[in-house]
């Protein structure tokens, strides 16, 4: 999307609607130069994603019950670690918000990468489900989690050093490109738009830029 179009969308959205954190998220995701955004702001934004993340994972926890019986064990095995990994991620974000130090940031980086890799792998597993209805239910549930975790990874990227990013990318074995065919882009845009209270057009550009930056970093 051209910068002129994004600037036009920005002009249509009120500052009150976006809020301080939404504005900062747009800045750190590469839409505009970074001014006034820091680790504490990013950590608060990650913490603000907590209700949506918890809701998405709750949906994952109940999805197995609506799948074809033969597919439920595949889905359960693919998503078994989500709850613990999400709980750890939220805890590390809150810890970094309280103490924005390099050592705590390293733990936050590890936590988000762990969940992101688990989610990416689960999408590939769900894609192998042959029953069409089961596959759609499984991918829909996981996609919501994937959108939020990718957004959080983008936020963490914005406050991480090149060395740390290189290390994280090296440990990232299930790349974003591998799950691209199974991503529901319209839904991802809606989730981001709802979170930041912004138009879907702006959210779409925001998501594209964030994912693009992550892929260029090696994720």
Domain residue extents for the chain: 3-216
pLDDT of residue 69: 95
Q: Which residues contact 8 (CB under 8 A, 6 or more apart)?
A: none
Using CB atoms within 10 A of its CB, is residue 213 exposed (0-12), middle (13-18) or buried (19+)? middle
Q: Return per-residue pLDDT of the chain as tens, 219 residues.
A: 443 444 444 344 433 334 444 445 444 444 333 334 567 788 899 899 989 999 999 999 999 999 999 999 999 999 999 999 999 999 999 999 999 899 999 999 999 999 999 999 999 999 999 999 999 999 999 999 999 999 999 999 999 999 999 999 999 999 999 999 999 999 999 999 999 999 999 999 999 999 999 999 999
Q: Which residues contact 66 (CB under 8 A, 6 or more apart)?
A: 137
pLDDT of residue 39: 72
């Amino acid at each position: 999307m051209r910068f002129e179009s994004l600037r036009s969308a920005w002009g249509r959205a009120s500052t009150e609607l976006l809020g301080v954190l939404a504005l900062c998220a747009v800045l750190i995701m590469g839409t505009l130069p970074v001014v006034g955004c820091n680790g504490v702001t990013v950590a608060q934004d990650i913490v603000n994603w907590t209700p949506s993340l918890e809701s998405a994972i709750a949906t994952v926890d109940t999805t197995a019950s609506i799948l074809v019986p033969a597919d439920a064990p595949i889905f359960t095995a693919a998503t078994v670690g989500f709850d613990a990994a999400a709980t750890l991620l939220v805890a590390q974000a809150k810890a970094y918000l309280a103490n924005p130090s390099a050592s705590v940031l390293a733990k936050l980086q590890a936590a988000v990468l762990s969940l992101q890799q688990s989610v990416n792998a689960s999408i590939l597993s769900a894609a192998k489900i042959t029953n069409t209805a089961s596959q759609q239910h499984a991918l829909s549930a996981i996609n919501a989690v994937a959108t939020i975790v990718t957004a959080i990874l983008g936020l963490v990227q914005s406050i991480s050093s090149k060395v740390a990013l290189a290390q994280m990318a090296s440990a990232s074995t299930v790349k974003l490109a591998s799950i691209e065919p199974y991503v529901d882009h319209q839904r991802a845009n809606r989730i981001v738009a709802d979170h930041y209270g912004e138009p879907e057009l702006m959210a779409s550009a925001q998501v594209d830029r964030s994912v693009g930056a992550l892929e260029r970093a090696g994720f």
